[in-house]
Chain A
Amino acid sequence: MYLGESLKKYGISLDEINLKAGIFGAEMWTEEMRHKIEETLGIKALNIYGLTEVMGPGVAQECLEQDGIHISDDHFYPEIINPETGEVLGDDEKGELVLTTLTRDGTPVIRFRTKDLTSLMSGNCKCGRTTKRMTRITGRSDDMIKIKGVMVFPSQIEKALLSVDGVSPNYQIVVTRPDILDEIEVKVEATPDLFFDEMKKMEEMENKIMGEIRSEIGIKVDVTICEPESLPRSEGKAVRVIDERNFE
């Protein structure tokens, strides 16, 4: 999207650059996003899947039919399991992707739990390839969130928050994607230590919290101080992360 905007900015027309297709990965994206990219750049936008522990990008790649991501199943054996019970699920059932390398020497991985939620598709692709296909990744089975392509665990944000005196252990992380870029808001409750009669000091406190989080996770977040008791308590499993991005 940024490329598209830059082309427009410098007055370069799409015909001049002769782009035909693009391969996109590293974070979750949606069909809507695909349409936007294709429209902006005049290309076919294709999905790639991979993970560092297995080989990086290239475990699976979409073809021009854009109907599922072809897994290179001559090299990687895919399974879908129920993340709670470990039970192996059938085709078209959604669960956690588990991969086993078949051809890797030295450091094979056996039934590696990717924590990525997807399903394996039944039937064959119109393109003629007969490999197993997986659907677009729609979420995670752990609490990791990927923001602007960066892996973030709520525990990292919690660690940063609790390093600031007076921050209560009740916090909430809200992830949104208003347009094409992720935004992350961290809500903390206004304890007496976080509350001042002067706006200047309130802002200093928000900036301090923001700085702590940034040095922990490497990206800038928006910090909002909100009313005490307004965030869910940690009875059982508190809902720490509200991900309003829709990947379904």
Chain B
Amino acid sequence: MKEILNKGDNMKQISVFLENKEGKLRSILKILGDANINLLALSIADTSKYGILRLIVSDNNLAIEKLNEANFTVREDEVAILEIPDKPNGLNSILEILEEGNINLEYIYAFSTNKLDEATTVMKFEDLDNAISLLEEKGAKILKEEDLKDI
């Protein structure tokens, strides 16, 4: 991947307000595709009325600019991207660390990568810095932007 991911220490995810209407998701993906923005991970939280589309993309600033131009409501939030050993109890061991540290996980979703030994996940915490320092202390692998270039 040749685009440089966003600057700053923590990884950032963008979220888009998604009305429950036919073709909405596709129109967002088309805007990103036309701007040559790569999708690294995606999740949708949905209710009967609307959804929240969460994305990890190759260029946040450009994605936000293009989506704003098309009148979508967009926001950017810091998240942690973790590499988890792809074996039984892999995720469990991470959750255990968080539980012991009394850290609340707001939501989690997965990356699709070409790595065979590791699963990559996006996690949102209320207190991100605290969560990251605890996870790093316990030996969990937190990805930085340069790591994503290899995904």
Contact = CB atoms under 8 A, between A and B. Distances in A.
B15 A195 contact: yes
A198 B50 contact: no
A198 B71 CA distance: 20
A197 B75 contact: yes
A190 B54 CA distance: 16
Interface of A is mostly: loop
Given A192-B75, A226-B50, A228-B71, A198 B17 contact: no
B77 interface: yes
A198 B49 contact: no
Interface string A199-232: 1101000000000000000000000111111100
A196 interface: yes
Q: Contact residue range for chain B?
A: 10 to 19
Contact of A198 (B19, B73, B74, B106): B106
Interface in B29-51: 45, 47, 49-50
A227 B75 contact: no
Q: Contact residue range for chain A?
A: 10 to 19
B52 interface: yes
Contacts of B71: 227-229
A224 B73 contact: no
Contact of A197 (B19, B47, B49, B54): B54
A192 B71 CA distance: 11
A191 interface: yes
A199 B47 contact: yes
B106 A200 contact: yes
Contacts of B72: 227-228
Contacts of A191: 73
A195 B73 contact: yes
Interface string A163-199: 0000000000000000000000000001110111111
Task: List 9 A-B pairs, minimum CB-CB distance, nearest first.
Answer: A197-B15, A227-B19, A190-B17, A190-B73, A195-B73, A229-B71, A197-B77, A195-B17, A199-B45
Interface of A: 190-192, 194-200, 202, 224-230
Given A190-B50, A190-B73, A197-B75, 18 more contacts: A190-B17, A191-B73, A195-B15, A195-B75, A196-B15, A197-B13, A197-B124, A198-B124, A199-B45, A225-B17, A225-B49, A226-B19, A226-B49, A226-B50, A227-B19, A227-B71, A228-B71, A228-B73
